[in-house]
Structure 1
Amino acid sequence: MDPLAQLQDIQLPEKIHNYPFALGWWIIAVIGIALVIFIIFKIINYKKARQVQQQAITQISSNSSMDIADCVAVLKWAALQYFPRERIANLYGDKLQDFLLDTLPESTHEKFKTLSNDSLKTMYQKDLSESDNISFQQASAYWLKHALPPKSNRVANQTLTESKL
């Protein structure tokens, strides 16, 4: 007998049906999409939280002839965006400097103190030098970079409760 005669024609497999992917792939896709959306919202919130900070830093850095009173106005405006109005609006002199120090991280207190000197106490004196204005301008930019936005709501709430006492 002829061995080739016993061979049968090639049989094609059944057509592959268009069923959806396995459930595991759908779960991975949903988790991936949710993760991307979560990251996008976090980035948007991060930028919104730092928008006022960036505006204030730009305003202080772009104008080299700002005096201490102008810097204080910018600092108060920026602080009002993050802290309660009752706590910020009436601060001046030592109380303003204490507030600025309280909102800074502990590790940055000394540098801020050296940059600001006693500028807040002497800001209304006539004989302020240009170096006093420049050093307070640097101190203001330093505070804006390190204190805003507050790292936690604890600082904002603490300043609110202190103002009620």
Structure 2
Amino acid sequence: MNGQDPLAQLRDIHLPETGGIWPPAPGWWLLAILCAVGLVVAVILWRRQHRNTAWRREARRLMADLEARASMTPGWFSELNALLKRVARRSHPGQNPQAMSGEQWVAFLLATAPDERIASRPVVEAMVASTWQPRPTADPGQALNFAIRWLEAQL
């Protein structure tokens, strides 16, 4: 036999090397891109929702502030009415509530109130009138109760 036997140089059957985990297959790249786009869209929608509902959080915060410092002063009733008008302007923009005053504002508040409209009329009338009176006649507690119920119905 020849010393240079070509069959002696052959190796045994072996499996090919694995490809490894990098770079991923095209399907994984597509999935990663879709997940990234979905995450960006979710963040944008969340921020838009958060920005659009900021006025609701602010209204609740202002109502809690008014509740904490309730008093029988025209200034306090004026602040309460101003808050209700800001909320009304956002929740009923077509009715132009920021321009209403007096009986028209009372009628609007009662029309958009959640319940007990007839029982609430004296409270609302006194609350609106107390804004301009030197000595308010409305009870701040009753005015707050109505305003909180009205506010929660609008939010």
> TM-score, normalization: structure 2?
0.61
How many Å separate the matches in 2 of 1:33 and 1:127? 53
Q: Does residue 16 of structure 2 align to residue 12 of structure 1?
A: yes
1:52 aligns to what? 58
> 1:60 & 1:9 partners in 2: Cα distance?
85
Contact 1:119–1:136 at 8 Å: present in 2 too?
yes
Tell me, what secondary structure is at the counterpart of 1:96?
Answer: helix
Find the counterpart in structure 2 of residue 103 from structure 1.
112
Q: Is the 8 A contact 2:72 2:140 kept in 1?
A: yes
**CA distance, structure 1, for counterparts of residue 73 and residue 82 of structure 2:** 14
3-state SS in 1 of match to 2:125: coil
Where in structure 2 are the equivalents of 1:102-121 lying within 5 Å?
Answer: 102-104=111-113, 108-110=114-116, 113-114=118-119, 116-121=120-125
Tell me the residue number matched to 1:88. 98
- The residue number in structure 1 matching 2:77 is 71
Question: Alpha carbons of 1:69 and 1:139: their partners in 2 closer, same or farther (altered >3 Å)?
Answer: farther
Residues in 1 aligned to 2:11 and 2:83: alpha-carbon distance in whole angstroms? 90
Residue type of the alignment partner of 2:80: V
1:89-141 Cα distance to aligned partner (Å, 9 max, x none): 4402x32221113334xxx132x553x34134344586947xx3321221122
Aligned-residue identity in percent = 16
The residue aligned with 2:150 is 143
The higher relative CO (CA closer than 8 Å, separation ≥ 6) is in 1
CA apart distance, 1:88: 2.4
Q: Would the aligned equivalents of 1:53 and 1:145 in 2 still touch at CA under 8 Å? A: no
The size of the alignment, in residue pairs, is 135
Q: Which portions of structure 1, spanning 4 or more consecutive aligned residues, are displaced by more than 6 angstroms?
A: none
- Aligned-residue CA RMSD (Å): 3.7
Q: State TM-score, norm by structure 1.
A: 0.58
Classify 1:80/1:43 alpha carbon distance in 2 versus 1 (closer, same or farther; 3 Å). closer
- Name which of 32, 38, 48 aligns with 1:31: 38
Distance in 1 between residues matched to 2:40 and 2:136, nearest whole Å: 62
- C-alpha distance in 1 between matches for 2:149 and 2:75: 17
